[in-house]
Amino acid sequence: MAVKKTYITTSIAYVNAEPHIGFLYELLAGDVLKRYYQAQGKEVYFLTGTDEHGIKVAQAATAAGKEPQNFVDEVSKKFEQLGKDFNIDFDYFIRTTNPEHQKFVQEKWQQLESAGVLKKKKYSGLYCSGCEAFKTEGEIEGGRCSVHEKELEKIEEENWFLVIEEEKKKKIEDWINFSVYPETRRQEAINVLKSDSYDEISLSRSKERYGWGVPVPGDESQIMYVWADALFNYISALKINNKEDLWPADIQIVGKDIVKFHAIIWPALLIACGYELPKKLLVHGFINSDGKKMSKSLGNVISPHQLVDRYGVEASRYLIFRGLSFYDDSNFTWADFDHLYNGELANGLGNLVARTIGLAKKINLRPDFAKEHPTSGSILDFRHDLIELNAWINECDQNISANKVWEETESKRSNLDGILRRIWTIAGRLEPYTPETAKEIRRQLTELDSKPLFPRLEK
């Protein structure tokens, strides 16, 4: 029997604004994991895309003086381009305005209806237009959304609800315990699940009020809630590409702000539709800038292209995982990134490779690298993986100095041979993070042709 491909997804980016570093974070994590598993000999299918419905998108289109469809066409392209600019090797880019996706979610809606888990009822609650969600007591601070600090709107309307029975909750809880990573998010998800507000989840909105969305089959007054539509992208994309056998996903990567949608609503929808649940949900933290949440008004937003302008694509890919802690909230500063760039890439790795190749060239030492086996690090803990790798680089440097490897004796020769092999292995482990640099290091080692890998930053 053929081995199933490893299926990795990011969340899909909401197109109400320009691409930001948070989405890049997920794209890169997915790409690093894809390249890592490929190096282990696995086949991988990697999905990303854009979430194009919802009130915030409609409002952003109006503000830009455009029809929603034209607006999302333009913005979606920028997200896809961001992936290409950062050498992200995704296999498909799903857009939720794709008619085939919409047809798929309408079929799933009908399936939920026949399963008897949908009911229509009048509902009144406090709504945050920033979250596009009704807020529960715990999510409100002083009458405002605790995420957006926005004043909440009291809304009363008739909507469709997904009923999550106790038995289903139990299943979801068991799944969370084994599948949500890291631990802190696991506990958070279980606490939310156990609160009464998750017995029923609103899955539709009034069409009159929210216009831009997928029509609810058989009910002209309603459109689907943007999350009910968006979550199904992970399977509709497979259907569109005739790859439904790849479900369940092996790894789904999401931000901490959307854990409850992926750890509760998504499994509830999947169970109701008879699908298996994803194997792993990786939840990343937020990137703050200069100690504060990034915001336009504070002027501290870091755009992906600023990173490329300063460090180039390869070094940016490295620095994001080395300088930030993926699962926790991290603080970005240019000074920290500059320091890591000069210390670990320009000096550390760059110098080691140049120096070692220089020594090998003098005595024309060319090890047979074909015998080197790839080694793997602690890939899910990206930062730790790179810190460990950096320690290897330092050890090689120390080895060269301590053993005076530049002296041309037989024992020094064997020592240098070992260091060259070690660098070959380092290149292998760097490959998921910096694929082009890894390739270049291998070329330099094979041809004994040294060229600078990372030029020092100018002030």
Nearer to Zn ion, 155 or 387 (CB): 155
Kind plus residue range of the DSSP H or E element containing 81: helix 68-85
Nearer to Zn ion, 139 or 431 (CB): 139
Site track for Zn ion across 284-303, x = CB under 5 A: --------------------
Nearer to Zn ion, 39 or 147 (CB): 147
Dihedrals φ, ψ of 91, to 5°? Answer: -95, -25
Could you give the CA distance from residue 430 to residue 410 in angstroms, rounded to a whole number?
30
Residue 452: CA count within 13 A, CB half-sphere: 7
Q: Which amino acid is at 297?
A: S
Query: How far apart are CB 127 and Zn ion at their closest, in Å?
Result: 9
Nearer to Zn ion, 75 or 131 (CB): 131
Binding-site size for Zn ion (CB under 5 A) equals 6
Query: How far apart are CB 131 and Zn ion at their closest, in Å?
Result: 3
Dihedrals φ, ψ of 116, to 5°? Answer: 75, 25
- Chain positions 47 to 76 lying near Zn ion, rule: CB under 5 A, are none
Dihedrals φ, ψ of 36, to 5°? Answer: -65, -50
| Segments of 231-368 assigned E as strands | 251-255, 281-284, 287-289, 292-293, 330-332
Query: How far apart are CB 143 and Zn ion at their closest, in Å?
Result: 12
Tokens of 78: 């920028």
Nearer to Zn ion, 99 or 143 (CB): 143
Nearer to Zn ion, 16 or 434 (CB): 16
Contact assessment for residue 129 and residue 150, using Cβ atoms and an 8 Å cutoff: yes
DSSP for 361-401, please give it.
Answer: HHTT----GGGPPP----TTSHHHHHHHHHHHHHHHHHHHH
Q: What is the DSSP letter of 147?
A: T
Nearer to Zn ion, 148 or 443 (CB): 148
Quick one: which of 375, 406, 368 has its CA closest to 392?
375
Nearer to Zn ion, 147 or 190 (CB): 147
Site track for Zn ion across 73-112, x = CB under 5 A: ----------------------------------------
Could you give the CA distance from residue 288 to residue 292 in angstroms, rounded to a whole number?
5
Rg (CA), the chain: 25
Q: Is the dihedral of CA 79, 84, 89, 92 positive or negative?
A: positive
Site track for Zn ion across 208-247, x = CB under 5 A: ----------------------------------------
Query: How far apart are CB 125 and Zn ion at their closest, in Å?
Result: 13
Kind plus residue range of the DSSP H or E element containing 78: helix 68-85
Nearer to Zn ion, 147 or 387 (CB): 147
Query: How far apart are CB 145 and Zn ion at their closest, in Å?
Result: 3
Could you give the CA distance from residue 4 to residue 135 in angstroms, rounded to a whole number?
40
Query: How far apart are CB 148 and Zn ion at their closest, in Å?
Result: 3
Site track for Zn ion across 116-155, x = CB under 5 A: ------------x-xx-------------x-xx-------
Tokens of 293: 């949440």
Could you give the CA distance from residue 14 to residue 114 in angstroms, rounded to a whole number?
30
Query: How far apart are CB 209 and Zn ion at their closest, in Å?
Result: 17
Kind plus residue range of the DSSP H or E element containing 121: strand 118-128
- Chain positions 318 to 337 lying near Zn ion, rule: CB under 5 A, are none
Quick one: which of 416, 386, 390 has its CA closest to 401?
416
Nearer to Zn ion, 147 or 380 (CB): 147
Query: How far apart are CB 150 and Zn ion at their closest, in Å?
Result: 6
Could you give the CA distance from residue 445 to residue 188 in angstroms, rounded to a whole number?
48
DSSP for 205-250, please give it.
Answer: EEHHHH-SSPBPTT-TTEEE-HHHHHTTHHHHHHHHTT-GGGPSPS
- Chain positions 148 to 187 lying near Zn ion, rule: CB under 5 A, are 148
Nearer to Zn ion, 132 or 344 (CB): 132
Query: How far apart are CB 153 and Zn ion at their closest, in Å?
Result: 11
Query: How far apart are CB 9 and Zn ion at their closest, in Å?
Result: 24
Query: How far apart are CB 42 and Zn ion at their closest, in Å?
Result: 39
Nearer to Zn ion, 147 or 457 (CB): 147
Could you give the CA distance from residue 202 to residue 232 in angstroms, rounded to a whole number?
16
Query: How far apart are CB 82 and Zn ion at their closest, in Å?
Result: 25
Site track for Zn ion across 394-433, x = CB under 5 A: ----------------------------------------
Quick one: which of 373, 380, 386 has its CA closest to 430?
386
For Zn ion, the binding residues (CB under 5 A) are 128, 130-131, 145, 147-148
